[in-house]
């Protein structure tokens, strides 16, 4: 007998855990916000998080394990699953197996992963009944009210007989205060090391490799200060002190950031937090207020160490500005994370080494350096330009929070190779001298924690000679 009107499931890879067993990855904020919104409109919701399963990583990546997880836990006549691209092949194959035993339960798929090629998903995976494309609150509420009306709901892709109906996304929710607070009571928050909030949705920038502008739109919609502070107070009552901010560009409005920091101080909330920043938006005044208000870490997407590559990807920054901001940031914040991407299709070997040199320089300043090869993101402009140049390899290096492909079962790998358009995150893009770049990055990784000092010493000796 059904106990709920809707079951919402978050699916992510099993990431490393804290030594006390709690999750390093934050709780599923998007699913919890959806759950709160649906519940506030009169429906009962069950939330499940596949990250919290007790399977070994190899077992977790089996579609049969996901099917079993659902079969043992789903307690509603309607199932909604949210996933990023990395776990999508496991999810789709697992749902096919789940539906063999539970034909009566309609399946709604949403999240960033399914937003690329929703019609192809319905064509190739009959277990999926509906895909929600983009912002999920209004389409999901409409589906709750009448699943039979799916073909007429904006932002919904569904079947009508033998036809697939793909409706364009509807207008975004412009008043962010009409969104519900996350339904924190539907999960065991103690199983997560940190909590998180979102103060705004959307990103005004247009980086070529990023899908966020197409998913949310370029307009930023921000929640009111009072609602944000109330949510932080609630999380403090629930015992959370580390509360990270998941906005794509938290620092977009400098005046608002300073006001937010002053409010945290005035309310004596005593939280520790980290956020995403952009190097061209930062200044020392803002950094000072952020640190006073408890900010201990900031993440910068630098992406490349070459100005020509940065211009081509429409990043909107220069290396000199990045250098200036990172140098200032390490003086203020306990942790400064810098992320770089190598393997762009238009990146020469010299430009690749420019990036390596900037990585080395920033590591020497005290910043943490993340290095990733380029994978095409669903809905990103770069995907449109280079989707026909994607290549698959079993030998690509592991990237943090990525699904470890060497542990994937054969049935999942077969699906990835059969439907590259659905799973572009498992592919790299043809790039000049890619193999040479890959071998260099593998060598760099093999040097261990002292890699940047070793590399810097080698470069210094070369220059001195």
List per-residue pLDDT tens for the chain, 465 residues long: 468 999 999 997 655 565 566 656 779 999 999 999 999 999 999 999 998 888 888 888 999 999 999 999 999 999 999 988 788 999 999 999 999 999 999 999 998 778 778 999 999 999 999 999 888 999 999 999 999 888 899 989 998 888 999 998 888 888 888 888 999 999 999 988 899 999 998 888 888 888 777 777 778 889 999 999 999 999 999 999 999 999 988 999 999 999 999 999 999 999 999 999 999 999 999 999 999 999 999 999 999 999 999 999 999 999 999 999 999 999 999 999 999 999 999 999 999 999 999 999 999 999 999 999 998 887 788 988 899 999 998 877 766 556 777 888 999 999 999 999 899 888 999 899 999 999 999 999 899 989 999 888 877 776 665
Place domain 6-166 in its CATH homologous superfamily.
Response regulator (3.40.50.2300)
Q: Which long-range contacts (CB under 8 A, 24 or more apart) does 172-178 make?
A: 172/135, 172/201, 172/202, 172/216, 172/217, 172/219, 172/221, 173/135, 173/137, 173/138, 173/221, 174/219, 174/221, 175/221, 176/200, 176/201, 176/221, 176/222, 176/223, 176/224, 177/223, 177/224, 177/227
Domain extents in the chain = 6-166, 194-374+433-464
Q: CATH for 194-374+433-464?
A: 3.20.20.70
Task: Centre a 10 Å sphere on the Cβ of residue 189 and count the other Cβ atoms it contains.
Answer: 16
Please report, in angstroms and rounded to a whole number, the separation of the first and last CA atoms in the chain: 77
Q: DSSP states of 259-309 as a string?
A: HHHHHHHHTT---BEEEEE-GGG--HHHHHHHHHTTEEEEEEEEE-S-HHH
pTM of the model: 0.92
């Amino acid at each position: 007998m059904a106990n709920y009107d809707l079951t919402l499931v978050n699916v992510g890879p099993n990431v490393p855990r804290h030594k006390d067993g709690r999750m390093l990855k934050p709780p599923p904020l998007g699913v919890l916000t959806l759950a709160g919104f649906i519940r506030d409109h009169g429906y009962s919701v069950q939330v499940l998080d596949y990250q919290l399963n007790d399977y070994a990583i190899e077992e977790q990546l089996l579609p049969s394990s996901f099917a079993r997880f659902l079969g043992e836990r789903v307690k509603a006549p309607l199932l909604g699953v949210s996933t990023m691209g990395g776990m999508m092949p496991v999810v789709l194959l697992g749902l096919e197996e789940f539906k063999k035993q539970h034909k009566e339960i309609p399946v709604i798929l949403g999240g960033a992963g399914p937003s690329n090629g929703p019609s192809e998903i319905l064509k190739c995976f009959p277990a999926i009944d509906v895909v929600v494309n983009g912002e999920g609150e209004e389409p999901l509420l409409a589906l709750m009210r009448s699943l039979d009306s799916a073909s007429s709901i904006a932002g919904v892709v569904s079947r009508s007989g033998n036809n697939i109906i793909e409706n364009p996304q509807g207008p975004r929710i412009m008043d962010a205060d009409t969104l519900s607070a996350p339904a924190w009571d539907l999960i065991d928050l103690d199983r997560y090391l940190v909590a998180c909030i979102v103060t705004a949705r959307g990103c005004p920038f247009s980086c070529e490799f990023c899908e966020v502008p197409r998913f949310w739109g370029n307009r930023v919609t921000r929640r009111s200060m009072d609602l944000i502070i109330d949510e932080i107070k609630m999380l403090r009552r629930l015992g959370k002190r580390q509360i990270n901010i998941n906005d794509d560009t938290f620092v977009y409005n400098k005046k608002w950031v300073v006001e937010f920091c002053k409010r945290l101080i005035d309310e004596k909330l005593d939280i520790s937090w980290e956020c995403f920043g952009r190097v061209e938006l930062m200044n020392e005044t803002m950094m000072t207020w952020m640190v006073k208000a408890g900010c201990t870490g900031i993440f910068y997407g630098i992406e490349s160490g070459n100005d020509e590559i940065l211009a081509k990807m429409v990043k909107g920054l220069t290396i000199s500005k990045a250098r200036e901001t990172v140098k200032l940031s390490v003086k203020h914040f306990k942790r400064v994370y810098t992320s770089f991407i190598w393997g762009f299709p238009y990146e020469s070997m010299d430009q690749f080494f420019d990036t390596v040199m900037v990585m080395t320089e920033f590591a020497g300043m005290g910043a943490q350096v993340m290095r990733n090869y380029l994978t095409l993101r669903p809905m990103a402009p770069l995907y449109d330009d280079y989707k026909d140049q994607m290549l698959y390899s079993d030998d690509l290096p592991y990237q943090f929070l990525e699904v470890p492909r060497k542990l994937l079962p054969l049935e999942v790998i077969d699906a990835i190779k059969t439907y590259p358009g659905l799973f572009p995150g498992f592919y790299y893009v043809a790039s000049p001298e890619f193999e040479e770049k890959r071998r260099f990055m593998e060598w760099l990784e093999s040097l261990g924690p002292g890699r940047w000092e070793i590399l810097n010493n080698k470069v210094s000796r070369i220059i001195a000679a």
